[in-house]
């Protein structure tokens, strides 16, 4: 009888150990070994506040209503645009009236803080009136759009410091005033040009070609002074249009250019805003890997969840948001 009781007790202990081990390894509520995706952040350059504010993406593309971190101090001088690489290095385009244009980058993280690692500034940069910045994975440097009196162009800079000339540049006969830019996973560079009412797309193939791969332009596009462009992982092109007076109100338009080449008078898949809408435009937009859209709109961040068209779900602003002269936005 005693041996039977001992066997039962041993069995109970073994089962308990198995259950505890399973909970430790697999967790509860059906959670397994595979961790969830790393938290994403939204980064905003604030020209007036002279800083970059960082917001955690909390769920469904929505973001925290106040910054989780702020980057300021040396290296910030009227920042007008920002981008981030996969290692969370922050790149900032400054357009100081007194010191002149500059490019700075910052290393660190939201827990321990960021510090400036280098700044490019001086007459050798050839930058006069820069407007847009994008990290370029092919070289690990950055691309800068600049609309200068001597000719508008896109400049490629290495990650270095000092009075540094660009590694390369290209322009196009169609450029009027190249504004915000972005780069997709295929190393296509997209440029919004408000004066040309055109979205240019260039393909990098070891060197720059002044001839665009394609250009979205024409009356069917409904482009009216496009100032910002973003591309998602499915190749959907999102465009922020500044509009023109009352006849052509601001809008966001979405396109599927696919394998387009040359000039394409492409009708949008959908439109946010336009005639009869209360949409008031914005400064810049960006899109994450899930197709969620983030729009800077007069010192607020407007979040649109993925869709055709994207649906507005959140507006972040007010005193706690830390936005002041917001002009550039990036997400990773």
Confidence of residue 8 (pLDDT cuts 50, 70, 90): very low
Average pLDDT, the chain: 87
Per-residue model confidence as pLDDT tens digits over 147-193 = 876 678 999 999 999 999 999 888 888 899 999 999 998 899 999 99
User: Using alpha carbons only, what angle is made at residue 241 by residues 47 and 295, rounded to the nearest 5 degrees?
Assistant: 50
Yes or no: say if 63 and 313 are a contact pair by the CB < 8 Å rule. Answer: no
Task: Please give the residue that has the higher pLDDT: either 297 or 278.
Answer: 297
So what's the pLDDT on residue 131?
A: 96
So what's the pLDDT on residue 1?
A: 46
- At residue 37, does pLDDT exceed 60? no
- At residue 74, does pLDDT exceed 50? yes
Domain chopping of the chain, boundaries: 39-331
pTM of the model: 0.87
Per-residue model confidence as pLDDT tens digits over 247-287 = 899 999 999 999 999 999 999 999 999 777 889 999 999 99
CA dihedral 303, 138, 109, 39 (to 10 degrees): 40
- What does the pLDDT average to over 196-216? 89
- What does the pLDDT average to over 30-42? 52
- What does the pLDDT average to over 45-57? 97
So what's the pLDDT on residue 35?
A: 41
Q: How far apart are CA 147 and CA 168, in angstroms?
A: 16
So what's the pLDDT on residue 5?
A: 37
Instruction: Residue 322: name the closest of 55, 63, 64, 66 by CA.
Output: 66
Confidence of residue 231 (pLDDT cuts 50, 70, 90): very high
DSSP 3-state of 154: strand
So what's the pLDDT on residue 102?
A: 97
- DSSP class of residue 268 equals P
One-character DSSP codes across 238-251: EEEE--BTTTB--E
Task: Please give the residue that has the higher pLDDT: either 26 or 93.
Answer: 93
Confidence of residue 142 (pLDDT cuts 50, 70, 90): very high
Phi, psi of 240 (to 5 degrees): -95, 120
Q: How far apart are CA 44 and CA 301, in angstroms?
A: 9
So what's the pLDDT on residue 278?
A: 85
10 Å CB burial of residue 284 (0-12, 13-18, 19+) is buried
- What does the pLDDT average to over 208-224? 92
So what's the pLDDT on residue 30?
A: 32
- At residue 26, does pLDDT exceed 90? no
Instruction: Residue 174: name the closest of 146, 144, 195 by CA.
Output: 195
β-sheet bridge partners, residue 83: 91
Q: How far apart are CA 217 and CA 318, in angstroms?
A: 37
* Fold of the CATH domain 39-331: Neuraminidase (2.120.10)
Per-residue model confidence as pLDDT tens digits over 204-213 = 877 777 789 9
- At residue 6, does pLDDT exceed 90? no
């Amino acid at each position: 009888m005693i041996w039977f009781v001992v066997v039962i007790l041993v069995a109970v202990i073994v089962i308990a150990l198995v259950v505890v081990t399973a909970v430790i390894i697999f967790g509860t509520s059906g959670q397994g070994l595979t961790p969830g995706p790393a938290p994403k952040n939204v980064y905003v350059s604030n020209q007036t506040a002279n800083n970059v504010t960082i917001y955690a993406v909390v769920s469904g593309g929505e973001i925290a209503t106040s910054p989780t971190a702020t980057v300021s101090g040396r290296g910030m001088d009227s920042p007008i645009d920002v981008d981030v690489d996969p290692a969370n290095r922050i790149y900032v385009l400054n357009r100081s009236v007194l010191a002149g244009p500059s490019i700075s980058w910052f290393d660190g993280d939201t827990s321990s803080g960021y510090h400036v690692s280098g700044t490019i500034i001086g007459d050798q940069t050839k930058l006069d009136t820069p407007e847009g910045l994008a990290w370029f994975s092919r070289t690990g440097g950055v691309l800068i759009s600049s609309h200068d009196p001597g000719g508008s162009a896109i400049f490629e800079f290495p990650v270095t410091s000092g009075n540094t000339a660009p590694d390369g540049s290209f322009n196009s006969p169609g450029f009027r005033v190249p504004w915000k830019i972005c780069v997709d996973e295929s190393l296509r560079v997209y440029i919004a040009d408000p004066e040309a009412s055109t979205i240019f797309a260039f393909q990098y193939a070891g060197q720059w070609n002044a001839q665009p791969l394609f250009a979205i332009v024409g009356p069917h596009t409904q482009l009216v002074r496009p100032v910002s462009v973003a591309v998602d992982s499915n190749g959907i092109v999102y465009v922020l249009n500044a509009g023109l007076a009352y006849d052509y109100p601001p809008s966001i338009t979405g396109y599927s250019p696919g394998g387009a080449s040359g000039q394409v008078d492409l009708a949008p898949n959908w439109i946010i805003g336009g005639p009869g809408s209360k949409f008031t435009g914005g400064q810049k937009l960006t899109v994450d890997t899930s197709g969620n859209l983030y729009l800077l709109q007069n010192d607020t961040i407007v979040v649109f969840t993925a869709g055709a068209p994207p649906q507005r779900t959140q507006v972040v602003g007010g005193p706690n948001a830390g936005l002041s002269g917001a002009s550039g936005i990036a997400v990773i």
